[in-house]
Amino acid sequence: MAQAQPLRTRPQADNGEQYLLPGETYGSMSQKIGDVPLTAPLKTPRGWLVGFTVAFLLLMVFLMSVTWLFIRGVGIWGINIPVGWGMDIINFVWWIGIGHAGTLISAILLLLNQGWRNSINRFAEAMTLFAVACASMYPILHLGRPWLFYWLIPYPNTHGMWPNFRSALDWDVFAISTYASVSLVFWLVGLLPDFATLRDRATNIWVKRLYGLAALGWRGSARHWHRYEMASLLLAGLSTPLVVSVHSIISLDFAISQVPGWQVTVFPPYFVAGAVFAGFAMVLLLMIPIRSFYGFQNYITVRHLDVMAKVMLATGMIVVYGYFMEVFASLYSGNTYEEYLLYNRLSGPSAWAYWGLLFCNAVAIQPLWFRRVRQSIPALLVISAIVSVGMWLERYVIIVISLEREFLPSSWDVYIPTFWDWSLYLGTFGLFFTLLFLFIRVLPMINIFEMRLFLRQEEERSRMRAGHHDDDPGTGRDIASGTASAD
């Protein structure tokens, strides 16, 4: 059976007012989105092959760095006394923050019935899982004896030894494992209707069987939809508090200590807002090139980019408020160590990082107040890249500057990352992008059935505005059933 030719839709002008541009049909959505993973290997785009090759080479750098770490130990890093936390924990907190946008888009916006999430939730959820995979490596590698990481898990053992539940390290284990497992189940449940669509559209018998196995017998019946919606709402309800709790627990790793600059109560909301801020910046940074490469401008419109820029601006201003509160707390406390920490941030050996984060996270986002900037693709790319750098600098400032000069001047030292610090960090990008490229190649990066539902809702709104009423009170689930008849 020959592969169906892609449907050609006339390009429409995007004025930044619509979430779905005109000219799309149920069949064109299924075909254009579904044909990306269904095309034969010989039709794989050259750009994808180049990107995957670069990502795979960086993944080899990651494996090399981890292997050398296992051989020589954490002494190959730049950590010292008193800076016992270096780029390992900096990158851990940064990667965890990257994943928060996906959970917010998939869970909170689902509960709030925000239809604009339909085009971006699948990609953002996948990005969450890959970022958590990168982040979860660092606490294990930081242990010194990473092959004994399972000692952190409470399991019956003959050692008579149990984890210390007062340890922040153990909190991280429970927070990350819960976050990763719930996000993975939520992501897989949302893929079931699209697996069925790919199963019915596939022409290769083995590909058809593979997607059919992944679809778990989905037929688009009313019972299937009822169970799917119940599962989605329950998982969204479980995921929503995770958005707040996971990064709050990460922030308590710092806040429970006596280190100057860490024991502040603003850290939990400050870290959560910063995580969503960094996550949306990364979603924009990755999604803008991908939508252009695959021609998905009709589904991910300028209006989507505008709304995501607004969320980034709102959370960014919360982060800026956190910066002001840190300065206020240092001056108002009257504590010599807190006051010196502020002075050290402004004029110490790592002051470049503090001034850099103020520019990246406070100054660079101010143009987003203007609609023209929010709807300018080059401007969004530049601002998103600057914010991603700024959020990494924020973690650097919180960890390194606070530890470089603590209480005793005799213990002061300067932290300088080594080659292996940077190689491991670049290697995690290889892991992240390798997983991302594989996801783009084998799974629909846009939610097909939710886009069908959104199209149905848009058609109903158009009929209502035109004064026509549909006698069918159905919700359109038959159209989004994921079967061949829907195409």
- pLDDT tens-digit series, residues 50-102: 999 999 999 999 999 999 999 998 899 989 888 888 899 999 999 998 888 78
Please indicate, yes or no, if residue 16 is contained in any of the structural domains. Answer: no
pLDDT band at 29 (very low <50, low <70, confident <90, very high): confident
Instruction: Give the burial class of 127: count Cβ atoms within 10 A of its Cβ; 0-12 exposed, 13-18 middle, 19 or more buried.
Output: buried
pLDDT at 374: 92
Please indicate, yes or no, if residue 33 is contained in any of the structural domains. Answer: no
pLDDT band at 2 (very low <50, low <70, confident <90, very high): very low
Instruction: Give the burial class of 334: count Cβ atoms within 10 A of its Cβ; 0-12 exposed, 13-18 middle, 19 or more buried.
Output: exposed
Please indicate, yes or no, if residue 9 is contained in any of the structural domains. Answer: no
Please indicate, yes or no, if residue 22 is contained in any of the structural domains. Answer: no
Q: ∠ CA 314-283-57 to the nearest 5 degrees?
A: 145
- pLDDT tens-digit series, residues 413-443: 888 999 999 999 999 999 999 999 999 988 8
Give the C-alpha separation, 5 to 410, whole Å: 73
Total number of domains in the chain: 1
pLDDT averaged over every residue in the chain: 85
Q: Mean pLDDT across the stretch 10-24?
A: 68
Q: What is the pTM of this model?
A: 0.87
Please indicate, yes or no, if residue 86 is contained in any of the structural domains. Answer: yes
- pLDDT tens-digit series, residues 203-223: 888 888 999 998 888 888 889
CATH number, domain containing residue 360: 1.20.1630.10
pLDDT band at 475 (very low <50, low <70, confident <90, very high): very low
Please indicate, yes or no, if residue 28 is contained in any of the structural domains. Answer: no
281 and 361 Cβ atoms separated by less than 8 Å: no
Please indicate, yes or no, if residue 30 is contained in any of the structural domains. Answer: no
Give the C-alpha separation, 203 to 326, whole Å: 60
Domain range for 326 = 42-152+163-456
Please indicate, yes or no, if residue 467 is contained in any of the structural domains. Answer: no
pLDDT band at 43 (very low <50, low <70, confident <90, very high): confident
2 compared with 406, residue with greater pLDDT: 406
pLDDT at 244 over 50: yes
Instruction: Give the burial class of 191: count Cβ atoms within 10 A of its Cβ; 0-12 exposed, 13-18 middle, 19 or more buried.
Output: buried
